[in-house]
Structure 1
Amino acid sequence: MQNWFGGFLICVFCAASAYAEKYHFDSRDTDSGLPQNSVKAILQTRDGYLWFTTLDGAVRYDGAKFTVFNTTNSPGIRSNRFANIYESTDGALWLGTEDGGLTRYQNGEFHSFSVAEGLPHNLVKTIAGDENGELLVGTHNAVGRLKNNAFEILFKQPKPDRTYFGKSPNGLWFWDNTAYYRLKNGNLEAYPSSDALNSEYTSVIFEDRAGDLWIGRRDGGLYKLKGGDFHSPWQFFPLEQHFTSAFQDRQGQMWFGTASGALYVLENERFVELIKPQESSTSDAITGNGIIAIYQDREGTIWCGTFARGLKQLNREIITVLTTADGLVSDNVSAILEMSASEIWIAANNLSRYKDGKFTNYVEPKAAFSLAEDRDGALWIGAIDGLLRFKDEKFTDFGEPIKKLLGTNFEIYDIHPDRAGNLWFGTNKGLIRLDGDGATKLFTTRDGLAGDNVKIIYEDANGDLWIGTYGGLSHFRAGKFVNYTEQNGLSGNRVRSIYEDASGTFWIGTYDRGLNRFRDGKITNYTTADGLFNDGVFQILEDERGNLWMSSNRGIYRVAKSQLEDFAAGKINVVTSVAYGKQDGLLNTECNGGTQPAGVKTRDGRLWFPTQDGVAVIDPEDVSINPLPPPVVIESAMIDRQTAAFGDELEIAPGKNDLEINYTALSFIKPEQVRFRYKLEGLNDDWIEAGNRRAAYYSYVPPGEYNFRVIAANSDGVWNESGAMIRVVVQPPFWRTWWFAALIVCSLVGLGFL
């Protein structure tokens, strides 16, 4: 036997912390809509729905809602205690129960097979397919094949009360307390238990796509048998866990769940602990957090079913947050600056310097708001009633000239060293220029400035200054201000961010009125009504892929600049935003802005944003795009608030007016950001932007024939242009039919002969 104890034990714990930071775990339970919290099996059917088995019903999930099927609402179901699930080659869904036999779901109808229909036992322990795609069913006392609705027994278990089943791509593995068994090509092979591979302590068996067999034990340890060969040397992994589930993802990586709630992935020959044990791992009984099912959906998301804690969804985190736990001086961050020495400086009441992965903190600056680097490489720190310069590890107070102009209770929101050697300060009391000779000048609304509350100062390629205030945007050139406000096209007067792209286009963000594009004297507005995730635009950073990243009170979001340009040109009427929040790694979705820099793109291309709980860091190159358009399904319809049956056609009787059509799109990556468009061809041939609403409403549809079409895009804006369609036929009242009109004509003609 090969015993790689030391090497693998070290790898488990060395890799765990680094890998675990990449995932966020969202939980769903009865509070979310599950009928019961034991999720025993998970499957995505070919139509795109996710199905879960629980002990109080079978559950279908579309990303927005759980639909429960049970004995109360679904004729054909004989028991709510569902345990396993399988989709056969003909598209039928098969569900095994603990006491109600085998249930088939096909063409919207359920049908159950029990002892009365020839099933050997009503406890179904496993459902699988053989090499020919035929259905194998393991019950409490026998294994057989279901063919043409008849059950053919292949063999009976020698010890039914001690028999457990594993997972295999083809065929079937099971075991009892004396041996392991494999059903393959119609033949049953037995492998007697040995001292090392004692089947009595086996808790899970999984055969991977390479034919290797994984055997997990309830007393700790995991075996790998190459090619499923019991006679060759095997590998042993000494994880002290009671293993309860195993799964192989599409990338070939193996995942393992345990009774304690721990989740492991084997990556590059190393075991990584993604979820730490939640409960004792020594008990033979599966505890509440025990992971009893693992599954990967078509978009790559990993799902885990637990014994009594519902469902867990693993979302890959793209945001790393640096906090006081990492050494940051304070979690409430105001401004972030990268200096020429490749140091990151962070204003968070006091001051932190981040270099080579380590923080150095300085407590001398109090209430630090803003940061800037001058031409000499010195750091300037703006604060409440204060201004400091930091050079050669020494702070120098420069606050006195500002105090002479403003008195007390001033706040410095931005510091800008211009190309001429002057320093400009944006404050709550106006704009200040400090020249190289120490002379100061204050500009306020009396001098033509749009507002005295100055949030940002930007110098363009021509050396002109653009000043964002809470009274609008000011362009300062040749000593004069030209202002842009709501009155001449700006979406809002509270300007917080200014960005000039390589083409010379200006992008202006506001506190609560969205984004503005400014070019050649023309302003284009973008708000949530036009597809922005949020109307707050506190900072604007462009990545190398041409996306604009923006921060707000509700998180960070990005929009493709090409879409913004197309919107400005009238080519599209809505843009797609992709939002990032807690499930992506943020500890607090509220970003800070109005103090500069309110975010920075560092030389390595990463984006840094200040938040209420630390510094959020994103590598845009590490952000994957979901390329899969979501399947679109028209689920139901209501006429005058009554459920209406339909297939390919929905018929509306005369006198019926109120129509509601419910649809969905099956994407599970940020399903709340899935977007829909629909139209009723023949009534209105233009697409209606429905946002994330999953229903269409019509208060009145005239008699006639129509096609209702709906399309959807995933959270990355990839559209399923085919979507779904049903024909809608509205029958006219009898007095508007052709035969009634003909009858009237004939009647009138007949009267003419009287």
Structure 2
Amino acid sequence: MFFRSALFGFLVFLFSTVAAAPQRPYWHTSMVHAAWTKRDGAPAAVFDMAQDQRGMLWFTATDGIYRFDGVRFERTTAIDGNPLRSSNTSGMLAVGTALWIGYNFGGVSVFDQGKVRHYGAAEGLPERSVYRIERNGNGVMWIASSAGLYWLDGARWRHVEPEDGLPSGDFHYFTALPDGSILAYHPQGLYRSSANGHQFHLVSKDKQIEIGHLLPNGDVLAVSVDHRLYRYTPRDDKFQAVNLPGGEQPFGVFVDHRGGIWINTDDGVKLLGRDLRVQRTFLAPQNLSGKLIYSMLEDREGNVWLTTENGVDRIRESRLTAISLPPRMFSGLSVRADRNGTVWIGNYQTTGNYELHSFGLHADGSREATPLTNITATARAPDGSVWFGNAEQIWHREDGRWRSWPLPPGLRGHEVQALAMDRAGRLWVSVLRKGVHVLHEGQWQAGGGHAELAPRTAVSLYADPQGAVWIGYPGNHLALVQGDAVRQFGPEDGLAVGNVTVMDSGAGHLWVGGDQGVAVLAGGRFTALSDAAGARMNGVSGLVASSDGGLWLHGADGLIRITAPALKAALAGGGQRLRAEHFDYLDGHEGKPAQLRPLSALTEAPDGRLWYATTGSVGWIDPARIDSNPLPPAPQITALRTDLQGYFPQSGLVLPQRTTNLELDFTAAALSIPERVRFRYRLVGLESGWRDAGARRTAFYTNLSPGQYRFEVSAMNEDGVWSTTPGVLAFSITPAFTQTLWFKAMCGLVVLGALYLLYCWRLALATRRMAERMGERRRERERIARTLHDNFLQSVQTLMIFFSQVKKGLSPTDPAQKRIDAALDAADLVLNEGRSQVHELRSNTLQEELDSALAGVGQALAEQHGVRFALEVTGAPAPLREEIAAEAYAIAREAMLNAFRHANSDDVRVTLAYTRKHLVLTVADRGQGLSAEVLAAGERPGHWGLPGMRERAESVGGTLAVHSAAGAGTRIILRLPGRRAYRRGPASAIPPQ
């Protein structure tokens, strides 16, 4: 009687606890467990654990603290670059952005956003072990230590003295109550403080309470030294004994936010159900890392974490709920739901000398026995009833009654491969190695009246809502039976699913699954489908077009869900890729559906749940109640390494000179299914777009240049929720002297200087070569002058003397006198001209009197041709280089001769302009000009004046331009660089422009 009343009272308490935590329903029976041990880098014998604001788990141990992101454990003796006071840590608490750490040798440290504050003897704490850190309902920090209880008064810790009502001694544990009071556990009794102070009073001294856990409704579940459970009500300081069914006496007890009670026994941990009976057991070492539970924590995602003597364990709910099966029922499983919501679970044994009967599972959880054994095929009729078949007979279940029909003698002993009931009430049966047959009103008909269907065994059968029957075969072959017509489909119709194992229709389309993919029939052709990543959905032996308009597949890797919106969007856009959601081993899927004989591996119950069967399990999922993780992950950069050393990743980090290669580690704490967390990152300053890292948590960069950089990383959790803000690390790489802008500018100046020196060298070389050529020309001119003087002029002079002597021998009245005088006059002119040429060849003053030389030529030509001539000199004349003056004179003389002789101009003008940068010589006339053909060709046919002038100009580094038009005169412009034209001398002698 006492047990019943205590149990009833505790059930009332438990229901109130669950009601107080509506954010998550109570645990269902299907859970996923994972364990990490030292082999995985996990700590052992952890004192305490906490979860920080970014979702990261922290563990205290005797060798430091450990951080865990769901994938990697990292042991550290510093937080955010701030070292611990000791690696021997104990109590821990996360409050906001701060992490509080207690030490086994005394003291507390608070790490908060890159800063640390240590509390020790100077702040009132003894050098004794700190076991527990907690904040009460009023926000005051408390610690339990081997020296007693302490509370933080501003910047100093105060000890609770005996005069405060609390005995001295060792305090391992206390519970902070919601009203701000503290419930302290001491060998002498249970003590409670006032709500807003540190005055304690005795609550109980006879129950020897060792530890207590706060329940969601504010009560405390306490455990005594002798392993008895009590419920303590703070409102009235009352205790009530709690006796567990079966006489369980736990070593420890823990309570989660769902109101679930976990008890630690001598072989593991057990979760109690709402009736306080054991709902799930996790035993060591099979599915728990150890026997002794040190601490428990429920994270913000609803996962339960346990620490044992060997490691760390996580327990979470799976999205797929597996049911318990009878012993030895572990293969050949199938599921089929009828219109009443009963799910019939078939069993086909291929080995063993025992037979297991299939059973029905009603919507209320009760089970119903059946006469069925070794079921190889099932089908749901249009009326919602269910048909079954094996190698001996056919069964039908309708309105609670069973009927059966034996297979004909020719078919008996051959297993039924597939079943389908059409709208006419005919049951289509595919029998292994015996082809397709129809059972109607107790009569069997081979091929259903179609001779071509009788011989070949069909892998699958499906009767669609329109009355047609689809027959699936191996090798991408499908037959459609509509009335008396049979149509065949094959690869030529786009069918590429391999062996057709399953079919269903929905959203106005026929969906076909096989061992090599899934296809949809649209517009008379099949189109292969793939997921959003382009992967084929292979190995499908279960397919359901669900009542909500979506599509579910069951393949070797688990269940695949394509929602109605995703299906509609893909079909409307004509695309073949579908945004799919996968449910695999991480969601509780075990085994794989039958492939060789595709039993019914997926079915939809009237309540909307999808039931699945594999080689080792049967379970369900409710599409309307799939738990998802709405918490965006908080990415963070955890390490930065170069080729030489590692750095703590703090913003503003300055890396040394010549750093070119970087390795950055990053993570995000998504603890439920960390295997599905995805990352993307970018290095601003080098790239603008994001890089998809997948599940990788490291980034590499090479050949970086000095500069300012900002590394950003973003994370997505298992349900596609991206982080709201990226993790950021700003850093810079210091340039070496050779990488600075000044060095580059200096190098540029050096290069420019080198180019200038090269230019000067080339100019000097060209000048020297030109001087050599001019020297050779001068020597040649001197040789010609000597030849003219010594030979030609002397010969003319001799002839003149000879003719003078002849003249003397003639009579004064001889008519030849006049002819000889005329010849002597002509010879005299030739002699004068020759002497003039000799003088010109030997002249060395041309370079200094170019204007005078040009004036003399112009005036002589003007008198000879009766044309006006003018010479204009601008700028201050400067002494010219000898070779420049000679070539300029030759070019100008040729241009002037052409102007006077051929231009038919009444005016010829020569302009000589001296500037600092150039010497410009222009010869212009107002004559008939040059034709377009001559300008285009650059010369007159058979004349070499213009080509010669250009060649002379190029030989001294100048340019020659000819401007002319028919009837508009001609201008010939010679432009010579000043550095080549002028001799070295005072630059001030030449105007700037």
- TM-score in same-fold range (> 0.5): yes
Report which structure shows greater RCO (CA 8 Å, sep ≥6): 1
| CA distance, structure 2, for counterparts of residue 739 and residue 443 of structure 1 | 94
Distance 1:160 1:606, change over 3 A: same
| CA distance, structure 1, for counterparts of residue 653 and residue 496 of structure 2 | 44
1:151-550 map, 5 Å: 151-153=157-159, 155=161, 160-168=168-176, 169=178, 170=180, 172-184=182-194, 187-192=197-202, 194=204, 197-198=205-206, 201-206=208-213, 212-227=219-234, 229-230=236-237, 233-239=238-244, 241-242=249-250, 244-247=252-255, 249=257, 253=259, 255=261, 257-258=263-264, 260=266, 261-263=268-270, 271=276, 273-274=278-279, 289-306=291-308, 310-315=312-317, 318-325=320-327, 330-339=329-338, 343-349=342-348, 352-354=358-360, 356=362, 357-362=366-371, 367-372=374-379, 380-383=387-390, 388-390=394-396, 393=402, 395-400=404-409, 402=411, 412-426=416-430, 432-434=436-438, 436=440, 438-441=444-447, 454-474=458-478, 476=480, 479-485=485-491, 492-501=497-506, 503-511=507-515, 513-520=516-523, 521=525, 523-527=527-531, 529-530=533-534, 535-543=538-546, 547-550=550-553
Distance 1:193 1:355, change over 3 A: closer
| CA distance, structure 1, for counterparts of residue 386 and residue 101 of structure 2 | 66
2:667 to 653, 664, 668: 664
Question: Contact conserved, 1:373 with 1:417, CA < 8 A, in 2?
Answer: yes
| CA distance, structure 2, for counterparts of residue 262 and residue 612 of structure 1 | 29
| CA distance, structure 2, for counterparts of residue 311 and residue 72 of structure 1 | 24
Displacement, 1:84?
1.7
The 3-state SS of whatever aligns with 1:600 is strand
Question: Contact conserved, 2:322 with 2:617, CA < 8 A, in 1?
Answer: no
| CA distance, structure 2, for counterparts of residue 547 and residue 376 of structure 1 | 22
Consecutive unaligned residues in structure 2, runs of 5 or more: 16-24, 349-355, 761-993
| CA distance, structure 2, for counterparts of residue 654 and residue 516 of structure 1 | 59
1:65 to 61, 72, 79: 72
Q: Is 2:142 aligned against 1:136?
A: yes
Deviations 1:431-480 (A, max 9, x none): 62437564323999x9799x977432334454444444431252526645
| CA distance, structure 2, for counterparts of residue 637 and residue 490 of structure 1 | 52
Displacement, 1:525?
2.5
Displacement, 1:308?
5.6
1:9 to 7, 10, 13: 7
Distance 1:679 1:544, change over 3 A: farther
Displacement, 1:571?
9.3
Question: Contact conserved, 1:100 with 1:114, CA < 8 A, in 2?
Answer: yes
Distance 1:370 1:683, change over 3 A: farther
| CA distance, structure 1, for counterparts of residue 359 and residue 742 of structure 2 | 86
Distance 1:369 1:213, change over 3 A: closer
| CA distance, structure 1, for counterparts of residue 653 and residue 218 of structure 2 | 49
Question: Contact conserved, 1:430 with 1:442, CA < 8 A, in 2?
Answer: no
Deviations 1:63-102 (A, max 9, x none): 112222249999733544433211245x221122323543
Tell me which residue corresponds to 1:283.
Answer: none
Deviations 1:2-37 (A, max 9, x none): x97422336879999x98752526242425635443
The 3-state SS of whatever aligns with 1:122 is coil
Question: Contact conserved, 2:420 with 2:427, CA < 8 A, in 1?
Answer: yes
| CA distance, structure 2, for counterparts of residue 37 and residue 416 of structure 1 | 58
| CA distance, structure 1, for counterparts of residue 601 and residue 154 of structure 2 | 67
The 3-state SS of whatever aligns with 1:722 is coil
| CA distance, structure 1, for counterparts of residue 280 and residue 379 of structure 2 | 42
Question: Contact conserved, 1:40 with 1:307, CA < 8 A, in 2?
Answer: no
Displacement, 1:704?
7.2
Question: Contact conserved, 1:320 with 1:618, CA < 8 A, in 2?
Answer: no
Distance 1:576 1:31, change over 3 A: farther
Displacement, 1:735?
7.0
Distance 1:29 1:447, change over 3 A: same
| CA distance, structure 2, for counterparts of residue 514 and residue 653 of structure 1 | 55
Question: Contact conserved, 1:381 with 1:388, CA < 8 A, in 2?
Answer: yes
Q: Residue 457 of structure 1 aligns to which amino acid in structure 2?
A: L
Deviations 1:148-203 (A, max 9, x none): 87555454797554433212154533232334444556633332365xx426x111
Distance 1:634 1:429, change over 3 A: farther
- What is the percentage of aligned positions where both structures have the same residue? 22
Tell me which residue corresponds to 1:282.
Answer: none
| CA distance, structure 2, for counterparts of residue 204 and residue 443 of structure 1 | 78
Would you tell me which structure has more helix in proportion to its own residues?
A: 2
| TM superposition score normalised by structure 1 | 0.79
Q: Residue 298 of structure 1 aligns to which amino acid in structure 2?
A: R
Q: How many residues in Structure 1 have an aligned counterpart in Structure 2?
A: 715
Distance 1:562 1:341, change over 3 A: closer
Deviations 1:526-547 (A, max 9, x none): 1584478x74332123555555
Deviations 1:207-266 (A, max 9, x none): 557654544312244444433544xx54332456356354462x5x37464464555669
| CA distance, structure 2, for counterparts of residue 143 and residue 315 of structure 1 | 38
1:99 to 87, 102, 105: 105
| CA distance, structure 2, for counterparts of residue 497 and residue 734 of structure 1 | 71
- The Cα RMSD (Å) is 4.7
The 3-state SS of whatever aligns with 2:723 is strand
Displacement, 1:370?
0.8
Distance 1:255 1:373, change over 3 A: closer
Question: Contact conserved, 2:531 with 2:578, CA < 8 A, in 1?
Answer: no
Displacement, 1:341?
6.5
Q: Residue 244 of structure 1 aligns to which amino acid in structure 2?
A: G
Would you tell me which structure has more strand in proportion to its own residues?
A: 1
Displacement, 1:415?
1.5
Displacement, 1:124?
0.7
Consecutive unaligned residues in structure 1, runs of 5 or more: 280-286
Q: Residue 329 of structure 2 aligns to which amino acid in structure 1?
A: S
Question: Contact conserved, 2:716 with 2:722, CA < 8 A, in 1?
Answer: yes
2:677 to 656, 674, 677: 674
Question: Contact conserved, 2:54 with 2:633, CA < 8 A, in 1?
Answer: no
Q: Is 2:45 aligned against 1:38?
A: yes
Question: Contact conserved, 1:334 with 1:595, CA < 8 A, in 2?
Answer: no
Deviations 1:708-748 (A, max 9, x none): 54333322333335343445767888777644443233224
Displacement, 1:46?
0.9
